[in-house]
Amino acid sequence: MSTQVKDRRTAILDAVIQLLAEKGLSGVTHRAADMQAGLPQGSTTYYFPKKTALLREAAAHLALELEKDCDDLQIAFADVVAKQGMEAAIDRAAQGLLASADKGRELLLARIELTLAAARDEDLSDVGERLSVAARRPIEFFVNLVTGGRNTVPMETCVGLIDGIALMYATGQGPKPTVAQVSTVLRSLTID
């Protein structure tokens, strides 16, 4: 695949993620994606003739973006644990989760839209699981590191709590959580 084709496809997929975050699933049309990406009309249709194919590729692109952020966070977190200890690392993890709530608002909203679409559309049924796995990775990583990998930690509860707080904040339904609040939640996981 040539660089120009890859760049156009990436621009379209980035545009679809923006549209999902700003306008929801109903705002994603081929024409809207062309306009959002700044490409000539018909570009999205050329690369993705059907909306389902467009949404599937956008979900795959979104999962890669979520996983990329996770890899960066894991490296930084492991370095802090090694150099400064677990207490400093817990504070860093809380800061990282909060920063991703701000920086990743668009990704979170797009993920929720695609996950809901996957629950309703059989052709997208596997998309929700892939996005959930990608979004859970950083939370599971932090929880496992903080707890020393104990499998007694209710992971679904932890993921649901942090995901729910982030969603409330991203949609304007709740205040931005503080580092102290998130640190307290993470520290509570280390108690036997």
pLDDT in tens, 43-85: 999 999 999 999 999 999 999 988 876 666 777 777 888 899 8
pLDDT in tens, 141-191: 777 777 777 767 677 777 787 788 888 888 889 888 888 888 887 777 666
Structural domains of the chain sorted by starting position, each given as residue range(s) with its CATH number in brackets: 1-49 (1.10.10.60), 58-188 (1.10.357)
DSSP 8-state secondary structure symbol assigned to residue 124: G
Q: How far is CA 146 from CA 19, 65, 78, 125, in A?
A: 36, 24, 11, 33
The pTM is what? 0.82
